[in-house]
A and B are shown apart, each in its own frame.
Chain A
């Protein structure tokens, strides 16, 4: 009887240890090839993560930007996260322990929608488009903001990932950040499309396509029905 209990205990031990992911171990397994075993970076491959902070780590990992999918090119793009949430938390704790900004607190409900619209237009629309549909800057594709969580948004604003400039609290204070997050939530992610099918929220290009293909196509068909064909 006692031997059975001892056996059970021995078997249970590894299971309890596995329930708490080891951030450092995960880092070594999945990140060190580019960022170095000591997270000091590998020249020409991956940057030094000392000072990057939990904010950057959580942003890149939770949006699936890291590990980098080289097939899509140099710019890290949003994708399915490679790690489950508890492993992400562990990795974030590890990278955070190397110094740098913590995960920012953001509460969209405390923001003001109109202030958010104006701030978004001033700081963000140039790259991300006024409705957050994403856009182009020479050298990169500022992504659409239609899928971002408020926390990821706040992290990006504070960190300035890839080619984005960083906006710290002296420039965009907490209240303004709340407002921007509210704008993204209420307008970017739930656009007030009173006019009907929004065809992409980017304006004249899809509108022109509808005019040509939909209206033009239908009216050409009507003309064909009404008119005659060439007689030989």
Chain B
């Protein structure tokens, strides 16, 4: 029984006091605090399914004549890597399920990280003492994007191969050292040699997962030692933590979340097709397909690459800034630079160096909300510009016109959106309304003389809530 287990472990490690503390550790339980956990559980599924895939994948550019179950490719020259992905999809039982679950987990991982990051930004959760947690998070976002790109590029299919040549071009475009760097990474001019694939593979299965794991550890430990932040509430203040203890409440909640994430990913993995590489065919540098796109979390980059006008300043025989640099390298540097610099900038401008354990509602920090809305609108518009060719197909709005319109709007709309956001914040603060449900209304009381008076603070007249429920 549990007592005997606890006795065994404690007498060998002496950690019973710590375990007691852990079991009673308090978690503030607002639903938006679960977004990071959704990302965490996606990562767990990624590692599990990923390990399984490594038992079958062959990271080799060696060419072979395909002779497997998929008839439209029989007799064609493909790489061993591509052949092994087809075998995973068609030859091995549950191979396609695990492969698709892995890919869906990557897409959803980034959805969760994005939502989580937005929540953290707009509630000011990055403020002291949580800067380390925040930096670890931003780095994990960058690593996750790279990791996903590396993962789907390993398949060496037509779509991902096109993505790799674009990545090569972006590396090439780095001023001064781009050419040298590209030759170093690819082991020669594109498409490089099989060593490039070995590197991509080891980065994807070992180096980056370990890096993410280490950052995750730092992220979780710093959250644990600072205790999670919380929204202001009837009992929640700067100097305490109010919420659900680890045992039993929080453990079962988080277990439920983990199981739900796994359920969604396996359901998608079996029922909704993703990255059907057999349908794309193998990659050859002289081939390309219309409608090629990177996975969604790199859509902001393809938008930027498509929107840039064809400037390529050069001096004599040297090209100062090859065009692909702007959209492929400069733009992401700007975005991540903003994300990393923001806590510092905010501290400087607000001159607020104090501890903050209580979170802001977005309306409580109108400048941060306005700048954030403006900035993310900018990135978002560039992201949507990247799929304007599909808009052309579906809605017959001329592609070139869309690009020209976006090139202007991308600098106008963010300011409008930011300004609007600031106005909304100020209005919401004045009226204390719910952003979606509107004003809650107030309580009025009839005075003895026959008039009406408003009850100033509606919370004081509410009946006390039962524990744990709204």
Give Cα A187 to B73, complex, Å.
Answer: 11
Check if A3 is an interface residue, CB within 8 A of chain B. Answer: no
B104 and A113 contacting across the interface, CB-CB below 8 Å: no
Given contacts A135-B393, A187-B72, contact A194 B293 (CB under 8 A): no
B31 and A227 contacting across the interface, CB-CB below 8 Å: yes
Given contacts A128-B290, A207-B275, A212-B296, contact A134 B89 (CB under 8 A): no
Check if A163 is an interface residue, CB within 8 A of chain B. Answer: no
Check if B444 is an interface residue, CB within 8 A of chain A. Answer: no
Closest CB of chain A to B36's CB: distance in Å?
Answer: 11
Given contacts A207-B296, A215-B268, contact A117 B111 (CB under 8 A): no
Give Cα A121 to B296, complex, Å.
Answer: 24
B396 and A133 contacting across the interface, CB-CB below 8 Å: no
Give Cα A192 to B278, complex, Å.
Answer: 9
Check if A43 is an interface residue, CB within 8 A of chain B. Answer: no
Give Cα A142 to B290, complex, Å.
Answer: 10
Residues of B within 8 A of A203 (CB): 159, 275, 280, 291-293
Interface residues in A, total, Cβ within 8 A: 63
Closest CB of chain B to A124's CB: distance in Å?
Answer: 9
Leading 9 A-B pairs by shortest Cβ distance: A208-B296, A227-B31, A135-B290, A195-B273, A211-B107, A130-B289, A136-B389, A231-B233, A223-B34
Check if A62 is an interface residue, CB within 8 A of chain B. Answer: no
Most chain-B Cβ atoms within 10 A of its Cβ — which of A134, A197, A210, A215?
Answer: A215
Give Cα A88 to B48, complex, Å.
Answer: 60
A122 and B299 contacting across the interface, CB-CB below 8 Å: no
Query: Contact mask B360-392 → A, CB, 8 Å, 1/0?
Result: 010000000000000000000000000101101
Q: Which residues of B contact A (CB under 8 A)?
A: 29-35, 38, 70-76, 89-90, 96, 100, 104, 107-108, 110-112, 115, 158-159, 231, 233-234, 236, 253, 256-257, 260-261, 264-265, 268, 270-276, 278-281, 287-297, 299, 361, 387, 389-390, 392-393, 396, 399-400, 459, 465, 468, 470
Residues of B within 8 A of A197 (CB): 271-273
Check if A31 is an interface residue, CB within 8 A of chain B. Answer: no
Within 8 A of B (CB), among A127-150: 127-131, 133-139, 141-142
Q: Report 5 cross-chain contacts, Cβ distance below 8 Å, ordered by A residue.
A: A117-B72, A203-B292, A205-B293, A207-B274, A223-B31
B295 and A204 contacting across the interface, CB-CB below 8 Å: yes
A230 and B38 contacting across the interface, CB-CB below 8 Å: no
A117 and B273 contacting across the interface, CB-CB below 8 Å: no
A201 and B279 contacting across the interface, CB-CB below 8 Å: yes
A192 and B279 contacting across the interface, CB-CB below 8 Å: yes
B38 and A196 contacting across the interface, CB-CB below 8 Å: no
Check if A214 is an interface residue, CB within 8 A of chain B. Answer: yes
Closest CB of chain A to B276's CB: distance in Å?
Answer: 6
